[in-house]
């Protein structure tokens, strides 16, 4: 019994072609998910609106109540925080967004009086009684990404 190598070769090519398509599709889906992650959306918000807000803060003008349709929350404390809540998840028990820190210091969610602990990856975490916790990470000078869970 002779094997038709030409036919087997075409079969192998079809499988190889299908694998290539599946690999490309997997990469495309991964990039789409990654580019729509909360952190990536936060970085895009800062890229689009960061300089405008920086100029407003430094011009001594009144801070607007919204920027690009996003509410600006001002949280006082030792260091002022201008927070932009960009999204929620898990039935309003998770929050994420960005904040502007004029003093360029990391702050906990809503500038509450809890300690931040520096992590090895350049982020900071906080935790209170129960399961309330969060993280913050510097995006660029004076701008930080945050997540909070309750």
Cβ-contact 100, 82 below 8 angstroms:
yes
**Residue 83: band (very low, low, confident or very high) from pLDDT cuts 50, 70, 90:** very high
Q: What is the pLDDT of residue 89?
A: 84
The backbone torsions φ and ψ at residue 95, rounded to the nearest 5 degrees and listed phi first, read -130, 150
**Residue 130: band (very low, low, confident or very high) from pLDDT cuts 50, 70, 90:** confident
d(CA 16, CA 50): 47
Instruction: Say yes or no to pLDDT of 35 above 80.
Output: no
Residue 107 is classified by DSSP as: -
pLDDT (mean) for 37-43 = 97
pTM comes to: 0.76
d(CA 104, CA 115): 16
């Amino acid at each position: 019994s002779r094997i038709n190598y030409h036919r087997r070769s075409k079969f192998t090519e079809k499988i190889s072609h299908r694998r290539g398509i599946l690999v490309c599709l997997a990469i495309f889906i991964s990039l789409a998910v990654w580019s729509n992650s909360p952190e990536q959306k936060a970085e895009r918000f800062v890229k689009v609106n960061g300089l405008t807000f920086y100029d407003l803060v430094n011009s001594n003008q009144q801070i607007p109540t919204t920027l690009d349709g996003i509410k600006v929350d001002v949280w006082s404390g030792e260091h002022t925080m201008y927070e932009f809540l960009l999204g929620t998840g898990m039935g309003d028990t998770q929050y994420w967004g960005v904040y502007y820190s004029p003093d360029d210091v990391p702050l906990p969610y809503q500038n509450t009086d809890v300690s931040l602990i520096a992590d090895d990856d350049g982020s900071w975490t906080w935790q209170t009684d129960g399961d309330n916790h969060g993280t913050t990470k510097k995006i660029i000078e004076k701008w930080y990404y945050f997540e909070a869970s309750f």
